[in-house]
Amino acid sequence: WQEIWATKKLGAAGDFSAKQKYYVLFEFPYPSGAGLHVGHVRPYVGTDVIARFRRMQGYNVLYPIGWDAFGLPTENFAIKHKIHPRVATDRNIKNFKKQMKAVGISVDWDREIDTTDPKYYKWTQWIFLQLYKAGMAYRAEVPINWCPSCKTGLANEEVINGKHERCGTPVTEKLKKQWLIRITKYADRLIEDLKSVDFPERVKTQQINWIGRSEGVVFTFSFIGISGQPDGKHLVKVFTTRPDTLFGATFMAVSSELAKKWLDVGWQAPDAVKQYIVDALAKKEDERVIEAREKTGVDSGIRAIHPATKEEIPVWVADYVLGNVGTGAIMAVPAHDERDFAFAKKYGLPIKMVICPHYPTSTCPVLDEAYTGAGHLVDSEKFSGMPSEEAKDAITKFVNGEKKVQYRLRDWVFSRQRYWGEPIPIVYCKECGEVPVPEADLPVLLPDVKKYEPTETGESPLAAIKSFVETKCPSCGGVARRETDTMPNWAGSNWYFLRYLDPRNENAFADRKKIDYWMPVDLYNGGMEHTTLHLLYSRFIYKFLYDQGFVPHPEPYAKRTSHGVILAEDNRKMSKSFGNVINPDDIVKEYGADTLRMYEMFIAPFDQMVAWDAHGVIGVRRFLDRVWHLYEREFSDEATEHAERIVHKLIKKVGEDIVAMKFNTAVSSFMESLNALEKCADVSRASARMFCLALSPFAPHIAAELWEKMGEKGFIHEQVWPKYNEALIREDTFELVVQVNGKMRATILLPVGASREDAEQAARGHEMVVKYLEGKTPKKVVFVPNRLLNFVI
Ligand code: ANZ
Ligand code: ZN
């Protein structure tokens, strides 16, 4: 059947068809050397069920596939096994393809794409040039995350719990000249537009938290100069979200990065302080600051003037103040901030309470930890007694603070010092400086080389390839050098869903008419782990393309869903290193593709994590065997009401469940229906047809075969999804609740639509009712049709 699907092009999507379009997308696979395991297959089968179902419903379905093939895993694999990444990639894709075809995924193979194909990455580079022209891509020397094992810079999003998300190595910091993308410019819109899309709440929350918008205030502190007076020259700004706590600021703390800048401009710090700063910065190179680590600091000797009280407070250099957040300096309020509290305790700094949770103030508690909530101000001069929310504005005005919105999100570090990625299309010329490669000269081809290992110098391996580096300036024709850093693999994946719309176009990343026809993606299923990586990046790039007039909407995905991870039978993550990986090929070989598919849909609610269970697989296989046997019967030509009822109910249930992605309950409905059908003396041909059609999105191979065996005409996958008859699925009985004085005393099974008289007669015959009526005549009998009867005595 898979061969027939291939020749008939079952998955082919027609551009501009008059049918209603439906774009269903799964995150395209990274073709690793390890191949697919059964966990990967879950979202493919889920979306395949939907694609097949929507086709039967008459939609023009786009269900595409491609390969996200640049990046570290392949490159590291290639280095380890001494195979060129190109060769490894081709080999991996071939294997993935074979595995996916074996499961019967009905994608449109004619639209297959590969991010490492120069015809594809030409457009990835083109998008970079658009970003560059719009001032959205820039070069700057910034401290970045550095993976000492992969020897490359990383974006913040790629560091999970202080570790590189791909290899697990603790990340360090490195100061480096980098390409950055101004994703921060889109921070507000990335939050705001979540309102217009149908994403799971947890996805929205994670993105909002990652962007971390916080509204606060910048206060200015002045330092005491040589004369012992504030000289007006040394002003330091702090960012705070709690301006109401200003009177509780007992010291200031600055990052070592900021302190280093002061040293650079001539600050004569005591030797111990200098040493602390140098050590702290060096430490970051080999050990990342982790939240939980003990806070350290040193008194800088500098004193600052508190802007409200005019008192002198010490200025400390502390490692918990981050150089790249806010202004790199804070006002420390130990009484009301946990970090400041811990630091003040450690170094014996004063803790001054200014927000009291109780009012009046006489009952203020003694603090044994920071009080971070709201309350009334105390010990704050004329602001004492004011509610803290109100005091925020009042104090800000009082000391001329400026309101400021700050984000946790950083600009996106876009340079990688590795071989297997898209070259960044920029040239450096002595005369003209930084020059973008003209669009007509794209793609900048990744040179075919023998040596692609990362270097110790922090430079990309491309830097050692003369024929690549040395070039002519596109602007003046003079001697120039190419940029040797490559892009992160998110560059190719953040727009791939657009290339599917027009994969062979040589003049544009996609034809605008096709984009208008197909976009937005109607359903995008993918892993939760991509929420603040690919999903955020691709929303951002799409918004950028929207602003440039290349796409019709501000959001690419109308709806997002997420599948749960499948664990191994030992309840651990499936991993080669644990030796617990289950390969779909083995299940297909032993039990068949349809068994694998239905089991994966049956295993648990689609969005929940669950462990693999070999017995469950056998159970599903038995079910399919029984379906097969059912079709060995002679079906009657006459409709038999009982079997019809079963099948019509099934059609309704399965159709609704597919739309709601409740695949597991759909599969159990198949099982229940089969049980019931097996007991029917007669099953009509019409019922058998319908059951087979309903089964076809889940078990397409068996359904196609049964269809043919039944002698039905046509190709099952071109049939229309069956309509159920409302009259047939109506329940024929209901449970009447019988009460005496409002208390339930019995339930009685009655035909739907039973009259008041019938209900009363049946109830009076029930022994419990007889008992509680005690022979009395009810004052009133309340009757709710198809529900309830209440005797009031
Ligand atoms: C005084 C204060 C008093 C603060 C208080 C909090 C509670 P979010 O909400 O995450 O943005 N902060 C500012 N810049 C910092 C930096 N470079 N490194 C470390 N911490 C920094 O956090 C804002 C708060 O984080 C700011 O408000 C500041 O501490 C701290 F009762 O200022 B707060
Ligand atoms: Zn790494």
Residue-wise pLDDT tens digits, 471-528: 999 999 999 999 999 999 899 999 999 999 999 999 999 999 999 999 999 999 999 9
- Cα–Cα distance list, 762 to 330, 369, 712, 754, 791 (Å): 79, 68, 49, 10, 13
Q: Is the pLDDT reported for residue 201 higher than 50?
A: yes
pLDDT tens digit string along 754-784? 999 999 999 999 999 999 998 888 999 999 9
Radius of gyration of the chain (CA): 34
Residues 6+ apart with CB under 8 A from 748: 735, 736, 738, 759, 762, 763, 766
Residue 759 is which amino acid? A
Q: Which atom of ligand 1 is nearest to the CA of 325?
A: 17
Is it the case that residue 458 has pLDDT exceeding 60?
A: yes
pLDDT for res 186:
98
- Cβ–ligand 1 contact at 256 (below 6 Å): no
Q: Is the pLDDT of residue 231 over 80?
A: no
- Of the spans 259-263, 650-654, 724-728, which averages the highest pLDDT? 650-654
Q: Which of 209, 245, 330 to mutate to test the pocket of ligand 1 (most atoms within 8 A of CB)?
A: 330
Q: Is the pLDDT of residue 194 over 70?
A: yes
Q: What b/e string do you get for 377-397 counting C-beta neighbours within 10 Å, with b at 16 or more?
A: bbbbeebeebebeebbeebbe
Question: How far, in Å, CA of 448 to CA of 711, rounded?
Answer: 56
330 lines ligand 1 (CB under 6 A): yes
Helix (H, G, I), strand (E, B) or coil at 331: strand
Reply yes or no on whether the pLDDT at 177 is more than 80: yes
SS3 sequence of 513-553: HHHHHHCCECEEECCHHHCCCHHHHHHHHHHHHHHCCCCCC
Residue 641: pLDDT band with limits 50, 70, 90: confident
Expressed in angstroms and rounded, the spacing between residue 67 Cα and the centre of ligand 2 is 21
pLDDT of residue 287: 56
Which of 218, 244, 337 to mutate for ligand 1's pocket (most ligand atoms within 8 Å of CB)? 337
CA 147 to centroid of ligand 2, rounded, Å: 5
How far from chain centre, in Å, is Cα 725?
A: 40
Is 42 within 8 Å of 566 (Cβ atoms)?
A: yes
Mean pLDDT (the chain) is 93
Please give the Cα distance from 109 to 120 (Å, whole number): 16
pLDDT at 756: 94
Nearby residues of 711 by Cβ (< 8 Å), 6 or more positions away? none
Is 67 within 8 Å of 114 (Cβ atoms)? yes
* Atom 8 in ligand 1: residue holding the nearest Cα: 214
Nearest CA to ligand 1 atom 27: 240
Characterize 727-763 residue by residue with b for buried, 16 or more Cβ atoms within 10 angstroms of its Cβ, and e for exposed.
ebbeeeebebbbbbeeeebbebebeeebeeeebbebb
Q: What's the pLDDT score for residue 451?
A: 81
User: The dihedral of CA 34, 37, 40, 41: what is its sign?
Assistant: positive
The rounded Å distance from CA 438 to ligand 1 centre is 45
What are the tens digits of pLDDT across the range 408-439?
899 999 999 999 999 999 999 999 999 999 99
Ligand that lies nearest to the alpha carbon of residue 169, given by its number in the listed order: 2
Q: Does ligand 1 come within 6 angstroms of the Cβ of 326?
A: yes
DSSP-derived secondary structure letter, 145:
E
Which positions ≥6 away from 621 have C-beta within 8 Å? 591, 592, 595
From 242, 232, 279, select the one nearest 259 (Cα to Cα). Answer: 279
Residue 332 alpha carbon to ligand 1 centre in Å = 8
Mean pLDDT of 244-248: 98
Greater confidence (142 vs 122) lies with: 122
Ligand 1 atom 28 nearest Cα: 240
Would you say residue 749 has pLDDT above 60?
A: yes
Provide CB contacts within 8 A for 521, sequence distance 6+: 23, 24, 25, 497, 556, 557, 558
- Check if 325 has its Cβ closer than 6 Å to any atom of ligand 1: yes
Predicted confidence (pLDDT) at residue 289 exceeds the cutoff of 60: no
Is any atom of ligand 1 closer than 6 Å to the C-beta of 246? Answer: no
Task: Render pLDDT for 522-553 as a digit per residue (tens, 0 to 9).
Answer: 999 999 999 999 999 999 999 999 999 999 99
| pLDDT confidence tier of residue 454, bands split at 50, 70 and 90 | confident
Task: Note the residue count of the chain.
Answer: 793
Residue 530 in contact with ligand 1 by CB distance below 6 A: no
What is the predicted pLDDT for the residue at 285? 59
Residues whose Cβ atom is located within 5 A of ion ligand 2: 147, 149-150, 164, 167, 169
Q: Which atom of ligand 1 is nearest to the CA of 372?
A: 31
- For residue 323, the ligand 1 atom closest to its alpha carbon is 17
The number of the ligand nearest the C-alpha atom of 418 reads 2
Report d(CA 6, CA 111) in Å as an integer.
Answer: 13
Hey, which residues does 748 pair with through a beta bridge? 736
Does residue 226 surpass a pLDDT of 70?
A: no
State the pLDDT at residue 379: 93
Whole-angstrom Cα distance, residue 690 to residue 251?
76
Compute φ and ψ for 6, nearest 5 degrees.
Answer: -65, -45
What percentage of the chain has pLDDT greater than the value 70? 97
Question: pLDDT category, 228, cuts 50, 70, 90?
Answer: low
Q: Is 180:413 a contact under the CB 8 Å cutoff?
A: yes
Specify whether the CB–CB gap between 635 and 643 falls below 8 A: no
Q: Of ligand 1's atoms, which has the minimum distance to the CA of residue 329?
A: 17
pLDDT at 291 exceeding the cut of 70: no
499 lines ligand 1 (CB under 6 A): no
Closest CA to 677 of 691, 664, 665: 691
Tokens of 669: 């409905």
Question: Relative to the CA of 406, which ligand 1 atom is closest?
Answer: 11
To test the pocket of ligand 1, the residue of 241, 246, 324, 331 to mutate (highest count of ligand atoms within 8 Å of its CB) is: 241
The band of 307, judged by pLDDT with boundaries at 50, 70 and 90, is very high
CA atoms of 268 and 109, how far apart (whole Å): 68
Is 321's C-beta closer than 6 angstroms to any atom of ligand 1? Answer: yes
Decide whether any atom of ligand 1 lies within 6 Å of the 333 Cβ.
yes
- What is the SS3 assignment for 241? coil
Pocket test residue of 213, 219, 242 for ligand 1, highest count of atoms within 8 A of CB: 242
Q: What pLDDT, on the 0 to 100 scale, is given for residue 453?
A: 85
User: Residue 295 and residue 321: Cα distance in Å, rounded?
Assistant: 10
Q: Which ligand is nearest to the CA of 148?
A: 2
Residue 10 gets which letter from DSSP? Answer: T
Probe target for ligand 1 pocket from 215, 218, 238, 240, with the most ligand atoms within 8 Å of CB: 240
- Of 285, 282, 403, 294, give the one whose Cα is nearest residue 347: 294
Cβ of residue 409 lying under 6 Å from some atom of ligand 1 = no
pLDDT band at 617 (very low <50, low <70, confident <90, very high): very high
Pocket of ligand 1 contains residue 253 by CB under 6 Å: no
334-356: per-residue pLDDT in tens? 999 999 999 999 999 999 999 99
Give mean pLDDT, residues 366-374: 90
Residue type, position 87, single letter: V
**DSSP collapsed to 3 states, 587-638:** HHHHHCHHHHHHHHHHCCCCCCCEECCHHHHHHHHHHHHHHHHHCCCCCECC
- CA 164 / ligand 2 centre spacing (Å): 5
Q: Which of 55-59, 95-99, 303-307, 359-363 has the lowest mean pLDDT?
A: 359-363
The verdict on the CB of residue 341 being under 6 Å from ligand 1 is no
Q: Per-residue confidence at 361, pLDDT binned at 50, 70, 90?
A: low
Query: Atom 2 of ligand 1 has which residue's CA nearest to it?
Result: 242
- Please report the pLDDT score of residue 731 as a whole number: 75
pLDDT at 107: 98
How would residue 33 be classed by pLDDT, with cut points 50, 70 and 90? confident
One-letter amino acid for residue 50 of the chain: I
Give the residue, by CA position, lying nearest to ligand 1 atom 1.
Answer: 240
**Angle at the Cα of 524 (from 522 to 529), degrees rounded to 5?**
160
Q: Does the CB atom of residue 406 touch ligand 1 within 6 A?
A: yes
Q: What is the pTM of this model?
A: 0.85
Q: 56-65, 74-83, 224-233 — which is least confidently predicted?
A: 224-233
Query: Dmax of the chain from CA atoms?
Result: 112
What's the pLDDT tens digit per position in 314-324? 999 999 998 88
Letter for the amino acid at 694? A
